[in-house]
Structure formats: C-alpha cells, structure tokens
Amino acid sequence: MDMQAPDTPPPSPFADILHTTLAATLPTSAADTPETRAQRQSSAHAQFAAFDPADAAEAQLAAFAIATMQGAINNLERAAQPGMGAETAARLRGNALAAGRFYASTLSNIRKARQQATAAAAKEPEPKPPPEEIPHIDVFQPRDRRGKPIPMWRNDLMSRLQKRAAYNFQDKAAWAVAAAEEDAAIAEQAKLDAEAGINPDEITEFLPLRQSDPANAPTPDGSPSDPSV
C-alpha cells in the first residue's frame, strides 16, 4: 500500500507499533490522493500522541483503537455515498458507532490510569529532612566537697561562687573561680576523710562546700555536728 509518511514522526518511543498497525489497517480508496493519505496518517500520529501510551501494551491498544476509528470514519463516508442502499448504510453506520464507542472507552481508560498514577505519585510523602542536631552547650557542673555532681536545681547546696558559675553560661572566668574553690574544698575533705578512715564512695549525702550555719558544720563523715539537727 502506497502511503506518504508525515513530515514529523509521532512523539512516542512506541512509534514502530503505530507504523506497523497503520500500514495494515489505514483505509484507502482509488480516489485518494497522496495528500489525502498523508493527512490521514498525520491524524493517526496526532491521535497516538494524545493517547500518550506508557508501555508497549498501551501503545498496541492505542494503535488498534486509532485504526478502528479510521475504519469507522471510512464506513461513515461510504454510508453517505449516493446510491448506497438503506440496509447497507445502516449497517455501516452501526459498525462505525460501535467502533467509536470502543475508541472512546480505550482513550478514557488509558487517561484514567495516567491520572491515577499521577495522583498516587503526588500523595507520596516527601522525605523528611534529617533532624537538626542540637548544638552542644558547655555548662558549669557544681561539685560538693567529695567531688559529687550537684543537681542544677539544688542551688541550696551551692556556694555563691558555684551559683554564679552554674547560671551564667558565658562567664568562663566565674567558672574558673568556682572550680578553684571546689578543688580546694575537695582536697581539704579528702585529707579529712583519710585521717578519719572514711571511704567517700560509701557516703550518699551531699556535702556542700560551705555551711550557712557554722554550728551545723559537717563532721568529717558528712553528718551534722549538732545531733539535734
């Protein structure tokens, strides 16, 4: 069959399927001119692009639907020719209408599948960015006379210098002064514990650096000097 190829190929990776189907099914007649055949083929290519098949199966189905529609148009043209019997014209038009319904159903199904795929892709949650790392902030950790860390909320156990250092994150000079006070107290307490034969690891109570009441100053084992307290 003599067909003139269109100027531009159909924009699809499955163009070979369309070419093969068209070569075997595109209606022709002796009255067709090369221009008419080229127009029909160009129309088929445009329809194939509108189907936008996603794989070879959809491409074959689209080509079949297009070829069926081309045949339906040819049937309608024949039914409209002068001298065509009423029975034959009715049969040609009925076949054309059936082909049109198949064409419309195929196009609708392919487009619906495309829309569903697009909607499903749109619903996929975007990957969450990794959580930002919380920057490390240096803080001053107060210690009691035996080097035990004092909880930050127990400011009643801290000396004035310890409070100043613990609640000021920028004053490194205050840290150094408070640490020096702690080191001196810890060294002094270690000497007292050694003289009294006390094991610091067995002491669970906190032993502040300074006592607000001199009468309640701790004994070497960490207990108040006044038994009534």
How many Cα atoms sit within 13 Å of 80 on the Cβ side? 7
Cα 80 vs. chain centroid, distance in angstroms? Answer: 58
Is 190 inside a domain boundary?
Answer: yes
Q: Are residues 143 and 90 in the same domain?
A: no
Of the residues 89, 123, 157, the one at which a domain ends: 123
Q: What is the mean pLDDT of residues 113-129?
A: 79
Q: Are residues 56 and 82 in the same domain?
A: yes
Write the CA distances from 182 to 140, 144, 178, 202, integer angstroms: 12, 7, 6, 20
The domain of 219 spans 139-229
Work out how many domains the chain is built from and give that number. 2
The pLDDT score that the predictor gives to residue 141 is: 92
The pLDDT score that the predictor gives to residue 23 is: 66
Is 176 inside a domain boundary?
Answer: yes
Q: Are residues 116 and 144 in the same domain?
A: no
The residues that bridge with 99 in the sheet, in sequence order, are: none
Q: Can you give the C-alpha Rg of the chain in angstroms?
A: 47
Of the residues 93, 123, 153, the one at which a domain ends: 123
pLDDT for 55-68, tens place per residue? 888 888 888 898 88
Pick the closest to residue 11 from 42, 49, 47 (CA basis): 49
Cβ-contact 25, 70 below 8 angstroms: yes
Q: Are residues 118 and 170 in the same domain?
A: no
Single-letter amino acid code for the residue at 15:
A
Residue 159 has pLDDT above 90, yes or no: yes
Q: Which of 98-112, 123-137, 208-222 has the lowest mean pLDDT?
A: 208-222
Q: Are residues 56 and 152 in the same domain?
A: no
The pLDDT score that the predictor gives to residue 227 is: 44
Residue 222 backbone zone (phi > 0: left; psi -120 to 50: alpha; other: beta): left
Neighbours of 60 (CB within 10 A): 16
Q: Are residues 186 and 116 in the same domain?
A: no
Q: Are residues 77 and 160 in the same domain?
A: no
Distance (Å, whole) CA 147 – CA 80? 108
Q: Are residues 29 and 119 in the same domain?
A: yes
Single-letter amino acid code for the residue at 88:
T
Q: Are residues 162 and 68 in the same domain?
A: no
Q: Which two tokens stand for residue 145?
A: 């006379």
Is 9 inside a domain boundary?
Answer: no
| 55 DSSP 8-state letter | S
Q: Are residues 30 and 116 in the same domain?
A: yes
pLDDT for 197-219, tens place per residue? 888 888 888 999 875 544 444 45
